[in-house]
Structure 1
């Protein structure tokens, strides 16, 4: 059961990191003029939030040998 939760937390971590990266990408596209500039700022904030949650608040794992 312990391995189930370990895999689940790794999947959640990957999902947060991917979502944060996609939001940052879409905010950059919006700032370049393809869409609403106001939406780009909102996506930028949420992308940074998800990136922070994925990489700063999550326990850091030692590198695999």
Structure 2
């Protein structure tokens, strides 16, 4: 019963995010990490088509609207 309550509370707050190629995003500045594996790893590119050196976890970025 406790687990069902926790699942319900978690699902209430979770919002799915979709990113498509060409979307502008803001990236959190985090301390350097040696291990880049994880769920939702994304390779970001700057506006001048240069790839950033390391993949970024999707929970550390959000969409940027102009």
Instruction: Classify the TM-score, shorter chain.
Output: under 0.3
TM-score (norm 2): 0.25
Q: Which has the higher helix share?
A: 1
TM-score (norm 1): 0.26
Q: Which has the higher strand share?
A: 2
